């Protein structure tokens, strides 16, 4: 039986994959929606680095699995493959990047924009209510946006701060040509966080990779267009 590990984004959690868990479980896959350390009551890791996060996931993977990563989860999937390729049967890198954008002051601005509201005393629920609707696409499922809002609202503030900082440290660009497992890359035409051009460029550097663009889809991806996302992923899995 093929095992699928679903890896969430910085403002996510295992609940964000509800639409995928039901769909793929009914089709005979073993599905695991993973809460990254510090999310959903799981124990945090210190220091909060991609290395430690990857090690935490590696301990759970008993045999080669398909890693389906959304946004930050796509980065975790790449980190797992770079460090523990024997645990990966295939990769689905969705709405993500191979490196945090470089540039003078950009990381500082990103962290300030994401964590500044916490410094101002806002709750995660208030931040989610303002942020998640801006990440939807023009053809979004309204229920998906609400799911994203509820999921982000449940993220512990301290974990969110650490995860935001974590993103700014990621760079696995040099590892892309070394990926030797079937790889799917999915982008949304309306995604301004991980623009389509980023995913398409990644796909050209990964041997044999497939690239799919979902029209009208924003950064919420699997929550934004669950049916379309599931169809694309299912077709990919059928050829493993």
Q: Where are the domains of the chain?
A: 3-238
Q: What is the pLDDT of residue 104?
A: 58
CATH superfamily of 3-238: Alpha/Beta hydrolase fold, catalytic domain (3.40.50.1820)
- What is the rounded CA–CA span in Å between residue 211 and residue 178? 17
Q: What is the pLDDT of residue 151?
A: 97
pLDDT per residue rounded down to tens, the chain (240 residues): 899 999 999 999 999 999 999 999 999 999 999 999 999 989 999 999 999 999 999 999 999 999 999 999 999 999 999 999 999 999 999 999 999 987 757 888 899 999 999 999 999 999 999 999 999 999 999 999 999 999 999 999 999 999 999 999 999 999 999 999 999 999 999 999 999 999 999 999 999 999 999 999 999 999 999 999 999 999 999 999
């Amino acid at each position: 039986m093929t095992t699928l590990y679903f890896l969430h984004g910085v403002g996510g959690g295992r609940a964000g994959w509800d639409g995928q868990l039901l769909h793929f479980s009914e089709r005979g896959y073993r599905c695991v929606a993973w809460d990254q350390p510090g999310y959903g009551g799981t124990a945090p890791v210190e220091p909060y680095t991609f290395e430690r996060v990857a090690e935490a996931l590696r301990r759970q993977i008993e045999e080669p699995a398909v890693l389906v990563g959304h946004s930050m989860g796509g980065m975790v999937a790449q980190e797992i493959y770079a460090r523990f390729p024997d645990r990966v049967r295939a990769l689905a890198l969705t709405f993500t990047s191979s490196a945090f954008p470089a540039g003078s002051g950009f990381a500082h601005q990103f962290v300030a924009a994401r964590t500044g509201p916490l410094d101002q005393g806002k709750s995660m629920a208030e931040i989610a209510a303002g942020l998640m609707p801006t990440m939807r696409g023009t053809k979004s499922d309204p229920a998906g946006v609400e799911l994203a809002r509820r999921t982000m609202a449940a993220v512990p503030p301290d974990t969110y701060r650490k995860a935001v900082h974590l993103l700014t440290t990621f760079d696995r660009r040099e590892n892309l040509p070394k990926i030797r497992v079937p790889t799917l890359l999915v982008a949304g035409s309306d995604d301004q966080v991980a623009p389509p051009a980023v995913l398409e460029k990644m796909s050209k550097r990964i041997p044999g990779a497939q690239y799919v663009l979902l029209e009208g889809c924003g950064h919420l991806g699997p929550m934004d267009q669950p049916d379309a996302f599931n169809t694309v992923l299912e077709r990919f899995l059928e050829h493993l």
